[in-house]
């Protein structure tokens, strides 16, 4: 399914910036999506990224099945009826403020937290010679460690592990190939949060 021109509304109870972009583009519904639909859309989108990254479909389905709750009944309900994208907040994958803090509890962008990305970024050069601010894996790990440290007193041990399923995966899917390795463009991450849009270099391929 190609992305639609007009932005669709996205529930504040969907705190994942990547999924929010897919819902906004009309590629996923704002409520319930079957595991096969979620897997198919994410697989198609990731293949438009630099280097055609590939996430295991089984892993995507497993995460979607547990996204609304770890209770066996809830997992079975997701597997049969689909994942509730508008009910992910406060679920088992929600770090409840222990992460980047870029989206608040109502899914509003916190400008100071978004600007904070640049504190961990450095100047990158793409393979085409374009210079821009970006975050490589080492810098993302540093940022995640700092996020976990500042959440002392309100964090869970699992929150640090959950972070590894977010920024590094976003790097794999949305990252750009640079002369010194793969990196996330700060400008593209800002667009992801502020406009709920994936990079045009990726989305344009759906028109081919």
- Whether the pLDDT of residue 204 is over 60: the answer is yes
- At residue 30, the pLDDT reads 96
Question: What is the rounded distance in angstroms from the CA atom of residue 118 to the CA atom of residue 135?
Answer: 8
- The share of the chain scoring above pLDDT 90, in percent, equals 80
More confident residue, 120 or 52: 120
- Which residue, chain included where needed, has tokens 């929010």? 20
pLDDT tier for residue 207 given thresholds of 50, 70 and 90:
low
Which two structure tokens, joined as six digits, stand for 207?
A: 């028109």
* pLDDT at residue 4 greater than cutoff 80: no
Q: What is the pLDDT of residue 208?
A: 45
* Contact yes or no for 173/167 (Cβ under 8 A): no
| C-alpha to C-alpha distance for 37 and 31, rounded to whole angstroms | 13
Integer Cα distance of 35 and 49 in angstroms: 22
CA-wise closest residue to 102 among 18, 198, 206 = 18
Considering only residues 3 and 44, tell me which one the structure prediction assigns the higher pLDDT: 44
> pLDDT averaged over the chain?
92
The domain locations on the chain are 17-207
pLDDT tens per residue, range 174-193: 999 999 999 999 999 999 99
Q: CA–CA separation, 175 vs 178, rounded Å?
A: 9
Angstrom distance (rounded) from CA 88 to CA 68: 6
User: Can you tell me the distance from the alpha carbon of 75 to that of 157, in angstroms, rounded to the nearest whole number?
Assistant: 23
What pLDDT, in 10s, does the model give residues 91-129? Answer: 988 998 889 999 999 999 999 999 999 999 999 999 889
**Predicted local distance difference test score (pLDDT) of residue 98:** 87
Helix (H) or strand (E) run with residue 113 in it: helix 111-115
Query: What pLDDT is attached to residue 172?
Result: 95
∠ CA 92-157-89 to the nearest 5 degrees?
Answer: 25
State the pLDDT at residue 96. Answer: 85
């Amino acid at each position: 399914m190609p992305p639609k021109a007009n932005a669709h509304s996205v529930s504040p109870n969907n705190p994942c910036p990547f999924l929010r972009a897919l819902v906004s583009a009309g590629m996923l519904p704002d409520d319930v999506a079957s595991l096969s639909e979620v897997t198919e859309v994410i697989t198609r989108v990731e293949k438009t990224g630099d280097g055609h990254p590939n996430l295991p479909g089984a892993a995507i389905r497993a995460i979607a099945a547990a996204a609304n709750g770890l209770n066996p009944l809830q997992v079975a309900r997701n597997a049969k009826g689909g994942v509730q994208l508008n009910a992910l907040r406060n679920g088992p994958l929600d770090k409840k403020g222990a992460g980047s803090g870029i989206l608040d509890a109502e899914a509003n962008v916190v400008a100071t937290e978004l600007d904070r990305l640049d504190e961990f970024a450095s100047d990158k050069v793409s393979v085409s010679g374009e210079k821009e601010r970006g975050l490589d894996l080492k810098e993302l790990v540093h940022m995640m460690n700092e996020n976990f440290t500042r959440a002392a007193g309100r964090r869970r041990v699992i929150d640090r592990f959950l972070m590894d399923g977010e920024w590094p995966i976003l790097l794999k899917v949305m990252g750009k190939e640079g002369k010194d390795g793969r990196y996330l463009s700060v400008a593209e991450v800002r667009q992801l949060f502020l406009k709920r849009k994936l990079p045009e270099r990726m989305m344009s391929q759906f028109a081919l």
